[in-house]
Amino acid sequence: MITLENIVKHYRLGDVDVPVLKGINLHVEAGEYVSIMGASGSGKSTLMNIIGCLDRPTQGSYHLENRDLTTLDKDGLAYIRNQYLGFVFQQFNLLSRLTALENVMLPMVYAGISKTDRRDRAAAALVKVGLGDRITNRPSQLSGGQQQRVAIARALVNQPSLLLADEPTGALDTKTSKDVMALFHDLHDQGITIVVITHDSDVAEQTKRKIHIQDGLIID
């Protein structure tokens, strides 16, 4: 599914190069359920943004389904994000102006799917995450757990190859965290490839493979 080889990422702060990722090698097979753990500031989000094609590595190669993504231009990366990747953020990142249904429809707008198909598929995705009765609610009318489930429905609606989640339970209480993790478990059982970042070992325990990152390097 994905293969990262010797991924290095530097941030430039003024005149200094700050190394954040120092040579990451990672391979994730289709259908895997992987957690990435590590202390705050260890580079988890930076790695996730590179895997999610939101950012480019300073060095190294990244293959998704045998295609070298480091050679793609901005539009190419946008296409990959839209068609192959689903992203779930800690802060949900829903558009407050739009209803749950419209939020879930958004990735399909950029995929060129017809309006009626969009509506049907978004509604089905919301039913799947248990929000079939909340499709016309705006984010402000939903609880944190419900908002995150809308975000998960949105991440899945274009049938991505890979679902990425950066601390998806970080803004949720214990009970709703459990609900969201149960949903991830279901999705894994349905064969979806999932990479989830967390610093919560309870969350990591539920995944099938745990990866630890420390100071920009994977340690085992």
Partner 1 sequence: MSITKLRPHAVPPLEVGEMAIAALLSNKLRSGLTMLGVIIGISSVIGISSIGQGVQKSTEESLRGLGTDILQVMAGEAESGGISQGQGSVSTLTWEDAQAIAEQAPSATVVSAYLQRSAQVVYGAENTTTTVYGTDLNFPEANNTFPATGRFFNEEELDAAASVVVIAPTVQENLFPPNVDPIGETIRIQGEVYDVIGVMEEKGAQGPMDRDDAVYIPLTAMSARIIGNNSLMGTSVNGIYLKGEDESQLEALQFQAENILRLRHDIDVPENDDFRISNQADILETLNTILGLLTGMIVAVAGISLVVGGIGIANIMLVSVVERTREIGIRKALGATDSTILNQFLTESIVISGAGGVVGIVLGVGITFVAANLFSFAFVISGGAVLAGFGLSTAVGLIAGVVPARNAAKLDPIDALRSD
Residues that bind partner 1 (CB under 8 A): 49, 52, 54-55, 64-67, 72, 74-76, 78-84, 87, 89, 93-95, 97, 106-107, 109-112, 154, 158, 161
| Cα→Cα distances 145→3, 30, 92, Å | 32, 27, 9
State yes or no: residue 18 binds ligand ADP (CB under 6 A): yes
* Part of the chain binding ligand ADP (CB under 6 A), chosen from 33-41, 82-90, 187-195, 201-209: 33-41
Residue 143 CA to residue 137 CA, distance in Å, equals 11
Scanning the structure block, which residue is given the tokens 């999705």? 187
For residue 97, the minimal CB distance to partner 1 (Å) is: 5
Residue 56 CA to residue 8 CA, distance in Å, equals 10
Q: Which residues contact 190 (CB under 8 A, 6 or more apart)?
A: none
- Beta strand 33-37 with 193-198 is parallel
For residue 167, the minimal CB distance to ligand ADP (Å) is: 8
Q: Which of 35, 42, 45, 193 is in the footprint of Mg ion by CB under 5 A?
A: 45
State yes or no: residue 219 binds ligand ADP (CB under 6 A): no
The answer to whether 163 and 193 are in contact (CB under 8 A) is yes
Closer by beta carbon to ligand ADP, 17 or else 29: 17
For residue 112, the minimal CB distance to partner 1 (Å) is: 3
Residue 8 CA to residue 21 CA, distance in Å, equals 5
For residue 104, the minimal CB distance to partner 1 (Å) is: 10
State yes or no: residue 46 binds Mg ion (CB under 5 A): no
For residue 44, the minimal CB distance to ligand ADP (Å) is: 3
Q: Which residue(s) pair with 5 in the sheet?
A: 61
Concatenated DSSP letters for 139-164?
GGGS-HHHHHHHHHHHHHTT--SEEE
Please report, as ranges, the residues that interact with Mg ion according to CB under 5 A. Answer: 45
Please report, as ranges, the residues that interact with ligand ADP according to CB under 6 A. Answer: 11, 13, 18, 20, 38, 40-46
